[in-house]
């Protein structure tokens, strides 16, 4: 059973946070932000907006491509590391907001790789008919609200992240199209490179943790970049090799938008023409698990994918995690 991306959706909140505001928060020059990151602005949620609210907008757009698809869903998976609440899952909340019930809906947390992990899980479950309900479609969402985790004084992170959501509707396509192969890896020995240390059972979120800033996002930028540069080419190559393809066959490379400079470094390292690598980081920043599906939707709107085009979706995230998914567009 071949499964393809039949519908795309994306949503960013309306609040635009320009570099001038970030520069004021972090005590840096605007030029420093542009030179180091290539990001010009990012979007922040409005007060009271939750991750599931962003996800709902993206999901509705993806579902609208196939009228009646919502009634034939058999699976919802949300990739997120900023859930609405510790429990239940944002997937369950999203299912209810869509007015649906009775089939599996859950979250996957692989930080910025979350959408790729969710897509691979959905592909596996639908291909093996493991969703339990026999639905025709799966809804895979990447959504995050990283503004909730930012330390405004930390120039290394507050300059990078924004909020957003992206979604894909996964369903049956002819053999030879759709998801051809994928590769996922986790290297837990590097788990301290990207983390929010408080809020779980190891470090409760108490007054002491808040005072120490342990409820906020922390990242060791240089080691993360080094991990990305050595791991991304490897997982992309392995996924393509498993599908019997080469990098030269790829029409468009949809990379996680960690920041503009890292995307540029990655396509130079791979030897890929920049015209084949869409950029949304300048406008939206790093939207974590939303980054890849949001870029997919934005690129399809700018220059629609043609039947038969070969796409590779790839990125890295905390954990450390990485993944690549090879897709033949239908």
User: Could you check whether the bond before residue 236 is cis, i.e. omega within 30 degrees of 0?
Assistant: no
**Is residue 33 a contact partner of residue 17, using CB atoms and an 8 Å limit?**
no
| H or E stretch at 186 | strand 178-186
Residues carrying an active site annotation: 112, 256, 286
| H or E stretch at 42 | strand 41-44
How do strand 310-317 and strand 321-328 relate by DSSP bridges? antiparallel
CA dihedral 123, 125, 129, 131 (to 10 degrees): -130
Instruction: Taking the CA atoms of 99, 291, 289 and 198 in sequence, report the sign of the dihedral they define.
Output: negative
Rounded CA separation 231/315 (Å): 9
Q: What b-and-e string marks burial along 188-214, b requiring 16 or more CB atoms within 10 Å of the CB?
A: eebeebbebbbeeeeeeeeeebeeeeb
User: Could you check whether the bond before residue 86 is cis, i.e. omega within 30 degrees of 0?
Assistant: no
Tokens for 76? 């919802």
């Amino acid at each position: 059973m071949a499964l393809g991306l039949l519908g795309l959706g994306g949503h960013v909140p309306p609040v635009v946070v320009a570099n001038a505001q970030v520069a004021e928060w972090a005590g840096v020059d605007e030029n420093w932000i542009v030179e180091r990151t290539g990001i010009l602005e990012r979007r922040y949620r409005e007060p009271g907006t939750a991750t599931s609210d962003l996800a709902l907008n993206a999901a509705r757009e993806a579902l609208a491509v196939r009228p009646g698809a919502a009634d034939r869903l058999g699976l919802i998976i949300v990739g997120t590391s900023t859930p609405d609440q510790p429990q239940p899952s944002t997937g369950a909340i999203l299912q209810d907001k869509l007015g649906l019930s009775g089939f599996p809906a859950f979250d996957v947390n692989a930080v910025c790789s979350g959408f790729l992990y969710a897509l691979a899980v959905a592909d596996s479950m639908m291909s093996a008919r493991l969703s339990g309900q026999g639905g025709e479609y799966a809804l895979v969402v990447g959504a995050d609200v990283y503004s909730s985790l930012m330390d405004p004084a930390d120039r290394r992170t507050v300059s990078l992240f924004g909020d957003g959501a992206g979604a894909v509707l996964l369903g049956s396509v002819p053999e030879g199209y759709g998801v051809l192969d994928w590769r996922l890896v986790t290297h837990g020995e590097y788990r301290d490179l990207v983390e929010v240390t408080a809020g779980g059972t190891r470090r409760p979120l108490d007054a002491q943790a808040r005072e120490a800033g342990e409820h906020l996002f922390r990242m060791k930028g240089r080691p993360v970049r080094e991990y990305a540069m050595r791991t991304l080419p490897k997982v992309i190559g392995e996924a393509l090799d498993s599908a019997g393809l080469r990098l030269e066959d790829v029409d468009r490379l949809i990379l996680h938008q960690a920041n503009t400079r890292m995307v540029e470094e990655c396509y130079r390292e791979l030897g890929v023409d920049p015209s084949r690598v869409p950029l949304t980081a300048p406008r939206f920043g790093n939207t974590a698990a939303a980054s890849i599906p949001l870029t997919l939707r934005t690129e399809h709107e700018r220059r629609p994918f043609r039947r038969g085009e070969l796409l590779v979706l790839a990125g890295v995230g905390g954990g450390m995690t990485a993944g690549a998914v090879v897709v033949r567009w239908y």
